[in-house]
Structure 1
């Protein structure tokens, strides 16, 4: 079965990096704990530029991702970091398992 994969690249203003990091980690933890359709939520920070944050998320399907977007914890996170983020790139992928 293929999974619905979402990658996100955040660019965070330098003065907000220290505040963004714990909020992002809390968001990942909440997604994994509270959403049965969220199977993976990796958070990576660029080794050279701490203002860049990359997410790799796996969901059962699009409906599970829609549940994520509608969740209270996602809405709270988005509102909290909105003014800290200077750029955001989102891509959607369909995982193709090897035979």
Structure 2
């Protein structure tokens, strides 16, 4: 698949409270699945877990453009996920990147 100029990559670094990890992961997986199923502008949503520290999670998401990501942030499933998991996180950092084609 070739990337267009407007392809937006979102990388999110999460550090989950160790005591909350078992509760967090099913919610994270449901949010990713809903994003892919219900958001036409969400093309990829990977959950990557650090092999040495399972509480360190990296999300790799690709959206058609900034408007598609804004729609994700406004979606009912994301808002519910954010509210349910906010207290489970020790830290969260979000980066917006532009996907370059080969």
Same fold (TM over 0.5): yes
2:87 aligns to what SS in structure 1? coil
Tell me the equivalent position of 1:27. 31
Partner Cα distance (1:65, 1:96) in 2: 17
Q: CA RMSD in A?
A: 0.6
Tell me, which stretches of 5 or more residues in structure 2 are unaligned?
Answer: none
TM-score normalised per structure 1 = 0.97
CA distance in structure 1 between the partners assigned to 2:26 and 2:50 by the alignment: 15
Q: Structure 1 stretches (4+) deviating beyond 2 angstroms?
A: none
Counterpart position of 1:40: 44
Number of the residue aligned with 2:92? 88
- 1:7 correspondence with 2:11: yes
Give ranges in structure 1 of 5+ residues lacking alignment.
none
Match of 1:16 in 2: 20
How far the C-alpha of 1:81 sits from its partner, in A, is: 0.3
In the superposition, the TM-score normalised over structure 2's length comes to: 0.94
Q: How many residues align?
A: 98
